[in-house]
Chains A and B, each alone.
Chain A
Amino acid sequence: MTKLLRLAGLAVILVVSLLFAVFVGDQGPWYFAWVIGTVMIILISGAGAIMLDAQSSLSSDGEI
């Protein structure tokens, strides 16, 4: 039941995101670009930190 609810929640987010993308992407392309761009910046920045964790665990030279 919990999984089903979670799936339904994700489906709702997906639909809202698609509607948002269609409307804002059409009316305000730069607002849409801001949303997508900000998410991308956060993800790449976070991935860089996780990569540093991996680099540190694979190496013992202590360099940063």
Chain B
Amino acid sequence: MEFINPDVVDLSRFQFALTALYHFMFVPLTLGLTFMLAAMETVYVVTGRQIYRDMAQFWGKLFGINFAIGVATGITMEFEFGTNWSMYSHFFGDMFGTPLAIEGLMAFFMESTFVGLMFFGWDRLSKQAHLAITYLVALGSNLSALWILIANAGMNMPEGAHFDPETMRMQFESFVDLVFNPDAQAKFVHTSVAGYVSAAMFVMGISAFYLLRGQHRQFAARSFRMAALFGIISTVAVITLGDVLGRLDYEKQPTKIAAIEGLWHTSNPPFEPWIVAALPDDAKQENRYEIGVRLVLTPLITHTFDQPITGMHELEEEAGPRIRSGIDAVAALRRYGVTHSSMDLAQFTAHEQDMGYGLLATRHAPGQDITAIPADQIDDVVRATQPDILPNVFVTFWSFRLMVFLSLWFFALFAISAYLSLKRRLERSRLLLKLCMWSIPLPILATEFGWITAEAGRQPWTVFGWLPTFLSASSHGVSYMVFSLIGFVLLYSVFIAAELYLMFKFARLGPEHDSMEPHAPAASRASAFDMRPMAS
């Protein structure tokens, strides 16, 4: 009997991707804006100048809108693991559940508790105590991200766990290995700092709007300068930390790095070009219309001039013996489940590391039963499974490039903005101010592309090398998946519309208190899309 319904798997993937992408529109701003608020409030406490309190309160209000809606969109995903990915939850729940539970208990509650104190404590707490609360909110929101990314790192580079043939699942082994997983470290820092970039662009863009309108000039100038400096350092950091992640992928996830670089054949160091643009064709396994820069790829990925990067064709070839060994592992495990004999266990243990590759062959086995493959057809099954080890190259290749191109744009924009702000020539550079304003959504888009790169590049696995995605989904009907998908799209679209409406409304209204321009006209009367200077 066939038990894998590819439509249900695809719909489950689509639903999770959609809810995660929606949720991730709110997350980066929360991660970064909390630390920007902390920076503004720190200046207020150090200098005692009221303008910085006005800034912390105004940007805090926009943070509050984003936080309230962002939290709501994140909760559903934790339930999706149980409803749509029950096989995955059974297999990896021991590892995945631990960081998620800590995230809920520690970071999320910590963040939520202190958010209330931050909003309502301005006149009830001392300056120093309120500042400490703001830092705790920032720490809490980033610790939330940390535990989520520790869980995610387990899927990409499972460490601190072993497969138990008695329970048929990954068993938790080492909390230290889980927390200090190199992928978790690099991914957390990269994601968190990407949030800083998003927040800096958000503050800089809205401040640019006020400067273009000639309103709240002192308020906007200070916000702009802080955001530009915050942004330029963060952008440099996010690019550097992206390189760390790339290096890790090169070592641990060669299929992902080969797909990211559109590398069908093993590279020829040091001359192999870095492909700037191409149209990867997954079906024909080749690139069309390649534009590349020679001598860049090898040092970029390997940090050497002589190490090759294995291409996708060669990775497919290398997977052949692992698939064959994995088929033996799955067959031995199946027998062990019935006989519990030490001989079957020993045979499974000998091939255990390749079990995932055996499971990958399930789709090509007669009746999706590995044990039913006749001996003379094993070669055919292995050959049919080999291309399955690769992710979708077109999606991985382009999502990575769009993220990189956008981050280079941010670097240029923040660098010029910081320079002009330091030279106090901002108001003369109206084009720059307009570019800053229109660039507000781009860092959020870049983080979405980054997430697509990481997760599309992880395919075909939910737990890399251990559990294929098509075996991870629940056994729902297609109609259930379509119905719930429509529900999510409608609900989340309402959330996005509400967020955009409130953000536009309060951003146009401007700061409620502006101690340096107490009688500034409300910006709300002007359209955010009208760039003519306001008549004075």
Contacts and interface: CB of A to CB of B under 8 A. Distances in A.
Given A37-B237, A41-B233, A48-B225, A30 B47 contact: no
Given A30-B186, A30-B188, A31-B188, A45 B424 contact: no
A64 B424 contact: yes
B229 A44 contact: yes
B35 A38 contact: yes
Contacts of A31: 180, 185, 188-189
A52 B43 CA distance: 12
Given A27-B180, A37-B237, A38-B35, A46 B42 contact: yes
Nearest to A47: B229
Contact of A64 (B35, B42, B234, B426): B426
Interface range for B: 35 or more
Contacts of B188: 30-31, 34
B185 A30 contact: yes
A56 B51 CA distance: 14
A61 B233 CA distance: 29
Contact of B47 (A33, A37, A50): A50
Interface string B179-192: 11010011011001
Contacts of B36: 45
B189 A46 contact: no
A52 B221 contact: yes
A40 interface: yes
B222 A52 contact: yes
Contacts of A45: 36, 39, 226-227, 229-230, 233
Interface string B217-238: 1101110011111100110010
A24 B308 CA distance: 33
A17 interface: no
Contacts of B108: none
Interface in B102-124: none
Contact of B185 (A28, A48, A53, A56): A28
Given A40-B233, A45-B36, A52-B421, 18 more contacts: A28-B180, A30-B182, A30-B185, A30-B244, A31-B185, A34-B189, A37-B237, A41-B233, A41-B234, A42-B35, A42-B39, A46-B43, A52-B424, A53-B47, A53-B222, A64-B218, A64-B220, A64-B427
